[in-house]
A and B are shown apart, each in its own frame.
Chain A
Amino acid sequence: MEDTTDVLVIGSGLAGLRAAIEAKKALVDVILIDKSFLGRGSASIYAGSVGSGVVLDEPPGGHEKALEHTFELMVREGVDPGWDTPYLQNQRLMMAIAVDATGRQAELRDYGVKDPYGQEWYAQRPLVGRQIIMPLVDSVKRMGVRTFAKTTMFDLIKKGDRIVGAVGFDVDTGEFIIIKAKATVLATGGCQRIFKRTHAPYRLTGDGYAMAYRGGASLWDMELSAIDLVGLDEPNLPHTWLNPSSARYKGIYRNAQGEPFVLKYLKEHNLLGPNATLSLDDPQLKRYGIPGFFEMIAMLTHFWTAAMKEIHEGRGDKGCIYLDLTRNTDEEWFKSGGGVQGLNLLRDFDWKHKWVHIQPLIVGQIGGVEIDEDGRTSIKGLYAAGEVAEGHAMHHANVTGARTGRSAAIDATFISEEPRLGPKECAWIEDKKRMLQEILDRKPTSEGDPKEIKRLIGEVMWQYAGPLKSGDGLNTGLKELEKIRKENLPKLYAKNPLQLRGAIEVINMVLVGEAVARSALHRTETRGSFQRIDYPRRDDKNWLKNVLVKEEDGKMKVYTQAVELIWTRPKPKEGGREY
């Protein structure tokens, strides 16, 4: 099948849906494609993903003050304040998000979202995003966006220095699909699935990063992942994230000897607040004297760092530490939807008498395709929005999606001639077709099983490029990835088009894994949620820089670029204490 359109949107999470809507509003032809069901495989349907940078009501000191404060927090702690990447964010982009977020969120009402501020769907986790995503899917169809579900796009067509569309195939029939577009928007989500331990949906394998990379775009700070400590690791419980709830925050982290090690760690690093009660009966906020909500979330990094160090130094139990929830009562759990959700995850586990095994897990990808504040990448005709774009996108999908869709549509209207493919591009497409056919023709072997290779990549990435990184580990990880590339990828097989999608994901995962490991190797400091054992200090003098990777002569080129400190810059510590 061959088709032509103005704006092609790949991925149908919140960012993709929003981009398609905004583009359609500019009266251009739009195609929206997803490799699974529309909206269903995205992180946004599980997480909601609209919260970032939103200012509610009329704040004290006026709206301007609130904006400043929000922006400051976003730059200091990352877009989503949970996983900090101090002062590495693109400040233009962050300011655009801070200014735009509230309005964009209110706009969701126009597309059938009953309550964009989330009071109603608050109780219904883990599918909180459903009440946002499903109305948007309906709106997209109603507005006349052409949608293709279960269609995997795997590469971008490049003509000269411009992206003019993408190629892919239908997952059910295996039909090869070429879509020519004046503007292509990537909204394919993150790459959390390259790590073994994550709670992200199964399809987040980083296809967008790989496509953009192969298309010549640069990837920004791929080494930055968002990590949280409370990933359940019990044999009969889901290996997923225990939601934040008041009951969880009453919990005590303990090592194999039963010591509450966080307290020790915070004392050593001078991180305890002046009003810390240090009583284990109190919730964590009071216990460690954390003044407020944002500070608490910035503390999460210290919690998991402390835990990883315990595990690293051999005071863990089978690579885990314990979460002691025994001081909770049933009422504590039933206080909120998150609590009930947590209780559901714990199932018949006897948390009143036993400690739960937990281990950190990857919850989001902070780095991504380098974009400007309107979602334009470094390559003409290519745009990115949501988690695939830079910044901790997990919660700014709504804003970047809307902005990117709009700029893509505007750019497309200024291009008068239809995208056409020359002989060179046609030859390239034939090449791609042959590559797919080769994978389909191969005989099944144990080394070439896509599922098995995925597992292998997950293990390698978690072990060598997981939360605590070191130079030696990363080098070993790169060697292991190279081994997978040399030994497993040539044998990669697929029995049917459905499995072919998995095979394509594997190819992308190896590439993205390499980008993550190489960027991490390049950044020789510890900053926020990026932790290097061999470089344990934050280095503002040399590392207020972003690490970028780019394809050059078939090789991965790693280079740095100074952060533009336009609006805010690191301040000296107050009283020796810094969150």
Chain B
Amino acid sequence: MPKITITVDEAKCIRCLNCVEVCPREVFDFDEKTRRVTLPNETECIHCRQCLELCDAGAISIDGVLRWKPKSIPPFAKKERILGYYPYYEVI
């Protein structure tokens, strides 16, 4: 399985620090001395892609994330009568 890597293109980065602000797992940090966005917790990334969405400069890229595309609407949506909490439908 792939290893997930995050890269911040320093040439493109405008230091708006939106990535530091939005990341739910503190993957990014800002080093005030070197004025660079650093990645102290890169392994914590859950690839929610919020940083990509908020990076106005398009400086961030995340590689190695697998995507899943359902071919059709999952059948549970019709079959099940009571939908309590959708993620668990995979269990059945």
Contacts and interface: CB of A to CB of B under 8 A. Distances in A.
A73 B92 CA distance: 18
Nearest to B65: A344
A283 B91 CA distance: 9
Contacts of B83: 51, 54-56, 117
A202 interface: yes
Contacts of A66: 81-82
B82 A59 contact: yes
Contacts of B22: 36-37, 40-41
Given A70-B82, A240-B46, A293-B91, A340 B26 contact: no
B86 A51 contact: yes
B33 interface: no
A202 B24 contact: yes
B66 A60 contact: no
Contacts of B66: 340, 343-344
Contact of B86 (A59, A60, A122, A343): A122
B53 to A, nearest CB: 9
Interface stretch (A1-9, A87-95, A329-337, A375-383): A329-337
B43 A335 contact: no
A348 B90 contact: no
Contact of B84 (A41, A294, A337): A294
SS class, residues of chain B in contact with chain A:
loop
B85 A82 contact: yes
A127 B48 contact: yes
Contact of B50 (A127, A200, A235, A334): A127
Contacts of A51: 83-86
B77 to A, nearest CB: 5
A490 interface: no
B51 to A, nearest CB: 10
Nearest to B43: A236
Contact of A80 (B18, B84, B90): B84
Instruction: Give the size category of A's interface with B.
Output: 35 or more
A190 B50 CA distance: 20
A168 to B, nearest CB: 17
B23 interface: yes
Most buried by A among B26, B44, B69, B87: B87
B90 A335 contact: yes
A239 B44 contact: yes
A343 B39 CA distance: 22
Contact of B26 (A202, A235, A339): A202
Interface string A321-333: 0000000000000
A338 interface: yes
B67 to A, nearest CB: 7
Interface string B55-69: 000000000111111
Contact of A343 (B1, B46, B49, B54): B1
B49 A337 contact: no
A348 B82 CA distance: 37
Contacts of A81: 84-85
Interface centre among B26, B44, B77 (most CB of A within 10 A): B77
Contacts of B70: 122-123, 337
Given A127-B50, A348-B2, 13 more contacts: A37-B18, A37-B22, A40-B50, A55-B83, A56-B81, A126-B48, A238-B44, A240-B25, A340-B66, A343-B66, A344-B66, A347-B1, A347-B3
Shortest 10 CB-CB contacts between residues of A and residues of B: A201-B24, A340-B68, A59-B81, A51-B85, A336-B90, A348-B3, A119-B73, A238-B44, A127-B48, A337-B68
8 contacts: A51-B83, A81-B84, A122-B70, A201-B25, A293-B92, A294-B84, A336-B74, A395-B85
